[in-house]
Amino acid sequence: MFNDKEVTVIFVLGGPGAGKGTQCEKLVADFNFCHLSAGDLLRAEQQREGSKEGELIRNYIKEGKIVPSYVTLKLLENAMNESINVNKNSRFLIDGFPRQMDQAEAFDAQVCNSKFALFLDCPEKTMEDRLAIRSKTSGREDDNIESIRKRFKTFIQTSMPVIEYYKSLGKCIQVDCTPAIDEVYQTIKAIVHEKIV
Ligand code: C5P
Ligand code: MG
């Protein structure tokens, strides 16, 4: 368990294609954050030779379902330890996690009490348009219309309750992500600046 006086965690949440990765990259350029994308960590583990969970991860991702929490939690914890011990960076943007209530509870109780959650709110149509563009170059097995529909459904059914949970704790900051990337970023940058610096 990390001490939340020494370790800062901001969750970046939102549906597929809302712009989580894009906005996190911009925050990394302006603030000293370690950006950990749960989806990226899962894809890397899926590719890792000798991984016991590779096949399981592949199936869940293709179906747009949430990989069992113990897998993702362990990957995040390992990456956090490496950042803290090797890179001496203990400020985290955790992107695409928690996506399911048990993940939120386990993280807050076992890993670290998060500072707040940034919810990138975006209409489904806009997310679908963005994913259609991304699918041309992403090489992701789940950037096809069938998987995308499943991911939208999982987002509404399984991940929105997490966002509602952080709202009920007064720990959720919602940002409208319909505008252009840089306009959205100015809003996000001001929020993070006020909360962190
Ligand atoms: O966030 P991203 O779109 O990269 O996530 C891709 C997929 O990875 C999700 O659709 C889901 O199958 C899996 N994932 C997960 N649990 C998380 C984050 C991602 O199972 N916390
Ligand atoms: Mg992403």
For residue 142, report the phi and psi dihedrals to the nearest 5 degrees: -105, 10
Return the amino acid letter for 187: T
CA of 21 to the centre of ligand 2 (A): 4
Q: Which residue minimizes the CA distance to atom 19 of ligand 1? A: 39
Query: From residue 88, how far is each of 33, 62, 85 by CA, in Å?
Result: 11, 35, 5
pLDDT in the model for residue 114: 95
Three-state DSSP string of 12-76: EEECCCCCHHHHHHHHHHHCCCEEEEHHHHHHHHHHCCCCCCHHHHHHHHHCCCCCCHHHHHHHH
pLDDT band at 94 (very low <50, low <70, confident <90, very high): very high
SS3 category, 145 = helix
Nearest ligand atom owner, CA of 140: 1
Ordered by start, the domain boundaries in the chain are 8-192
Mean pLDDT of 86-102: 97
Please give the distance, rounded to the nearest whole angstrom, from the Cα atom of residue 22 to the centre of ligand 1. Answer: 16
**Res 133: pLDDT:** 95
Cβ(60) to ligand 1 under 6 A?
yes
Does the domain spanning 8-192 belong to CATH 3.40.80.10?
no
Given a cut of 70, whether residue 71 has pLDDT beyond it is yes
- pLDDT of the residue at 197: 66
Segment (H or E) for 167: helix 160-168
Contacts of 61 (CB under 8 A, 6+ apart): 39, 42, 43, 46, 67, 141, 142, 147
- Confidence (pLDDT) at 4: 87
Average pLDDT of 84-93?
Answer: 97
Q: What is the pTM of this model?
A: 0.97
pLDDT higher than threshold 70 for residue 59: yes
Q: What is the pLDDT of residue 196?
A: 87
Is 68 annotated to bind a ligand? Reply is no
Partners of 176 in the β-ladder: 121
The H or E element spanning position 146 is helix 145-154
What distance in angstroms lies between residue 66's CA and the mean position of ligand 1's atoms? 6
